[in-house]
Amino acid sequence: MTQKIVFLDRASLAPGTAPRSPAFDHDWVDFDETRPDQVAQRIADADIVVTNKVPVSEADMAGAANLKFIAVCATGTDIVDLAAAKERGIPVSNVRGYAEYSVPEHAFGLILSLRRQIPGYTADVKAGKWQDAGAFTFFTHELVDLHGTRLVIVGRGSLGQGVARIAQGFGMEIVFAGRKGDTAPGDGLVPWDEAIETADVLTLHCPLTPETRGMIGADELKRMKSSAILINTARGGLVDEDALVAALNAGEIAGAGFDVVSSEPPPADHPFMALVGRPDFVLTPHTGWAGHTAKKAMVDQLIDNIENFHKGAPTNLV
């Protein structure tokens, strides 16, 4: 029997990233983009749904009588109503570990951009300040070496571990933070409060869940070192974005590098947009995952998940 596969947001994959064709009889339908109000109609007769960032709700599933499997073409699965899928016996799989090099490298790109003041000095050179200085160099921004500074990593999965491996090469002190609210985490983890207060670089590599949403708020930012920087290549919702803007404006932390925002793309009036161009803030458009090897690994794993489900041996279930 031919299986209908619907990809709700094919354009979310980088150009040239083409999944291979699943090795079973199927009819594959691509939509470049899908609004939330279009999901139910587009998956109404689908057997398998593929989504990257388009939400699939309980109501959407209720109208899809043939739906047997949801394949998320990403690691984060908060876009799918997992409770509703479980109730209806619809397995959900995600892709994992495909960006184990790409995201850590991007995180360090943000760290180095801020610690070596690359955006600030680039802007100064463009503005003619080197010529104005009349010397072989000039000093308008404080440079901070990574060697010997404390890197606190939130999340000890493949991405957090990848960041730790890179940090070893820079001679940083590497610690992993325990869960927020756990005063005695054990297993080599540093208690949350100590981790926040002692970090020179705090980098987030954990999923967005009800427990982690807003985990970095005004209180945490006030307790961080004024010389510390915050890096987020995980999910925008982990950080209270208004509180971060206030903290940067008040000099409570030295800088922030983000690859994610709570609403993507951020609207023109998003508080982060007022920070773009400042030397203490770097914002990239959720590209940390998109290294060339990572993109291929992602789509290969996506199709593996679909084929394994069809064989009756689903993989990467969530």
Which active-site residues does the annotation give? 235, 264, 286
Q: Under 8 Å CB-to-CB from 41, ≥6 apart: which residues?
A: none
Reported for 80-84, long-range contacts at CB under 8 A and 24+ positions apart, including other chains, are 80/51, 80/55, 80/56, 81/56, 81/57, 82/318, 83/58, 84/57, 84/58
Of the candidates 50, 15, 30, the one whose C-alpha atom is nearest the C-alpha of residue 292 is 15
d(CA 23, CA 304): 10
Dihedral sign (CA 67, 68, 73, 74): positive
- Cis omega before residue 285 (within 30°)? no
Burial of 218 (0-12, 13-18, 19+ CB in 10 A): middle
Burial of 70 (0-12, 13-18, 19+ CB in 10 A): buried
H-helix or E-strand containing 255?
Answer: strand 255-258
217: amino acid identity, one letter: G
CA 150 to chain centre: 22
d(CA 46, CA 48): 6
Residue 48 forms beta bridges with which residues?
A: 5, 69
Residue 11 forms beta bridges with which residues?
A: none
